[in-house]
Amino acid sequence: MVKIADIEKNLGYWNLLDRFQKMLADELDDHPLSKTELDPKRRLTCMDYFSSVLFTVFNPVIESMRGFCRASVLKKVQGKVCSRKVSLGSFSEAQSVFDPELLEQVLKQMASRVDLNAVDERLRKLPKELTAIDGTLIPALPRMAWALWGKEGCQAAKLHLKFSVERQSVRNSILTTGKTCERKTLKEMLDPDELLVGDRYYGLDYQFLIKLIALEQWFIFRIRNDADITVVEEFDLTPEDRQAGVVFDGLVMLGKDWHGKPIRLVKVEALDTTILLAAGVDRETMSAELVALAYRYRWQIELFFKWIKCILNCRHLLAESSRGVQIQLYCALIAAMMLFAMTGRKPTKRDMEMIQFYFSGWATFEELKTNLKISS
């Protein structure tokens, strides 16, 4: 449970925005500026632009770039968010000027500070961190040709995310066009210190699984129930395995062209559903029961996607370029990590409304504390 002193300290940074600016300033100290950023004629700074985008994430009133530019004439906004009035042209141009990598570093800082202890203790004791992986589509405007996905006229960007189930925080993220293969993107984000958990899409390509085994990357991926399976060895099941719904645990060959070492397969039957799990982790390290339990936590990333889209105002894109969309999504993820650290959990929609009332001066800290159920 989060203590009052901790949350009051965090909120004291003017609604988390000042805290973000301090962290960004630390990154800027080690980040070389481009000639464009150093141009003496430039009035909109990196700090102003990134702070403005983060401000829109916390503010449900602003749904567009024009909306923020109009709000930038307000004295309080200029005092706390950006240093001056922002024109539509300068806000739009900033997408291509400032480096999203700065936000990626801030995001990593925030994620490293979050630990909600949200996973079974047995999984926390594993030598590698349980990490859910998936991608989600972010609807784009029809004129955003770079985001073309599926049939003509359907535009979307895709956010590829690695989500720490243990700490309920973002491990890594990449933004691509909507049609980019999730397995291909995952190859760029592999980390030997992680146990990856993914849905059936990651288990469709058996050659991909063979490569992960060769790299000694731990994983648990669901595969199709009608997969072509050749059993090499079957392991005995424990009472705990059977209690978890496990009906098979063993080594198998998948498909007609499997040329690698046999892969472990765990079959689970529960609630009239059959789930086949390809597991790149040996039996000595994880029992079949734990493999089944770890896969259940895959849904955490789906809930996180839903949360950032619905609660953090990510349905409205302020930018049209891929770089601009990436900046907005990084800011949304940073906001999520800040709220996790502040409240010790994922705030609900009602919690977010109360936080916004506090930020705007309509709720006292005592009322916020009561509504968020923060302990003293």
> For residue range 13-45, what is the model confidence (pLDDT) as tens digits?
345 788 888 899 988 888 887 788 777 778 888
Task: Find, among 111, 129, 114, the residue nearest to 294 by Cα.
Answer: 129
Dihedrals phi, psi of 333, to nearest 5 degrees: -70, -40
Q: Give the C-alpha distances (Å, rounded to integers) separating 146 from 143, 181, 183, 242, 298.
A: 9, 15, 20, 49, 30
Cα gap 82→24, rounded to integer Å: 14
User: Cβ(182)–Cβ(212) under 8 Å?
Assistant: no
% of residues, the chain, pLDDT over 90: 35
Tokens of 331: 């800011």
Task: Find, among 297, 243, 237, 306, the residue nearest to 265 by Cα.
Answer: 237
- Evaluate if pTM is beyond 0.85: no
Model pLDDT, residue 322: 76
In single-letter form, the type of residue at position 247 comes to V
Arithmetic mean of pLDDT over the chain: 83
Low-confidence ranges of the chain (pLDDT < 50): 1-14, 142-147, 375-376
Encode pLDDT of 329-355 as tens digits.
888 888 888 877 777 777 777 888 887
User: Cβ(373)–Cβ(59) under 8 Å?
Assistant: no
Encode pLDDT of 285-339 as tens digits.
999 999 999 999 999 999 888 888 777 666 566 676 778 888 888 888 888 888 7
Cα gap 286→114, rounded to integer Å: 26
Model pLDDT, residue 251: 97
Cα gap 368→371, rounded to integer Å: 5
Task: Find, among 330, 302, 292, the residue nearest to 314 by Cα.
Answer: 330
Model pLDDT, residue 143: 45
